Amino acid sequence: MRPTSIEHTLPRPDEASLARSRALAARIRDAIAEAGGWIGFEQYVQLALYEPGLGYYSADGEKIGIGGDFVTAPELSNALARAIAATCAPWLESLPSPTILELGAGHGTLAAQCLDAFEVLGLTNVRYLILETSGTLRQRQQETLARYAGRVEWLDGLLDTELEGLILANEVADALPFERFVKRGDDVVPLGVRVREDGFDWAEGGRDPTLSRAVRRIEASLGMPLPEGYRSELRLVLPAWIATLGACLLRGAMLLVDYGYARRDYYRPDRSGGTLMCHYRHRAHGDPFVYPGLQDITAWVDFSACAEAGRAAGLSVAGFTTQAQFLIEALGDALIGERDRESPARLAALKTLILPGEMGERFKLLLLTRRADGLALPGRDFRSRL
């Protein structure tokens, strides 16, 4: 394959990783051929991230942390877990068997930090469930959480799962596959993928009534059409994902933490290239066709869509705020923990979590509740923006 201009700027993968990427590229080419020469972007992302044994999250390899491609809040500090515990412990205490279900638990770091933080607050009977789609990350979680044996349980699916407590998803909504589109006059044209001699390329597809309807709904809620040539993304799978999680929640809350915007910021007229982003060895770029299966492909989260899906699932939108607001208000003086004071690196990590230009304002928290009066998010209430 001829390297793209972005490929030249990235560190070269080792031969075994390149061989796996070539195998995945062949699998994607087959899917494109089977579909008559074009697939939608959601299908491309599904294959690139989740194709068994080959996709980014399905295959072995370091993804999260310094030796991986990107860093998440729990890998930087335990502040998020401590703030979640401080916010939810008083409510969870009232339940006979408080349960936390974490989706996509990465290395299991947030789970360990949460169990510790709840224990410090006297909540020692928390049952912790994890639903993880990646076999290799599940194994990693089992290693991280070995000392909590008996308290953590991994689920294979959500069928028949019912719980009272908290459903937690840090940077999982952004990992759900998404569609891309471009506005051409009044039409919504899907942006998908075709084979190019040396790899893959963007290509416009035929009319997709489901995608068109979804974009029209966005335009209706914005009160204006998106401009000519506007490109962006949307997750058609999101409502079903939230409905499935909501159905498991008999009583309690679902907390989504992710980089994203309320809809009017997400689809701002001047954000005309969308929010698609790829992460490879801590370099962020916009080419999803580089090294398929070796880089993360993501787009920001439309939190208004999450709130709508929550309401449709019978949940109440109980809070929406930024990560900075949440951490500072939930923890106050305790934001800087004792061990943080001793370490410049830990202090720097905390700054990354709360500075506006870093994760502080790009990351938001959305709290959806069912029969959980009194459970709310500390920090400025931005629900009116949704």
Ligand X SMILES: C[S@@+](CC[C@H](N)C(=O)[O-])C[C@H]1O[C@@H](n2cnc3c(N)ncnc32)[C@H](O)[C@@H]1O
Q: Which residues bind ligand X (CB under 6 A)?
A: 57, 64, 72, 74-75, 103-106, 110, 131-134, 137, 170-172, 175
Smallest separation, CB 298 to ligand X (Å):
7
When the beta carbons of 64 and 375 are compared against ligand X, the nearer one is 64
CA 140 to chain centre: 19
Smallest separation, CB 130 to ligand X (Å):
9
Q: Are 386 and 317 in contact (CB under 8 A)?
A: yes
SS3 136: helix
Smallest separation, CB 57 to ligand X (Å):
4
67 Cβ contact list (under 8 Å, min separation 6): none
Cα(274)–Cα(354) distance, integer angstroms: 24
Smallest separation, CB 79 to ligand X (Å):
13
When the beta carbons of 35 and 71 are compared against ligand X, the nearer one is 71
* Residue 35 Cα distances to 32, 38, 78, 248, angstroms: 5, 6, 46, 35
202 Cβ contact list (under 8 Å, min separation 6): 191, 192, 193, 194
Q: Provide the strand spans (E) within 51-103.
A: 99-103
Cα(312)–Cα(270) distance, integer angstroms: 30
Smallest separation, CB 34 to ligand X (Å):
24
When the beta carbons of 157 and 344 are compared against ligand X, the nearer one is 157
When the beta carbons of 267 and 326 are compared against ligand X, the nearer one is 326
Smallest separation, CB 186 to ligand X (Å):
34
When the beta carbons of 75 and 219 are compared against ligand X, the nearer one is 75
Cα(157)–Cα(125) distance, integer angstroms: 23
When the beta carbons of 154 and 202 are compared against ligand X, the nearer one is 154
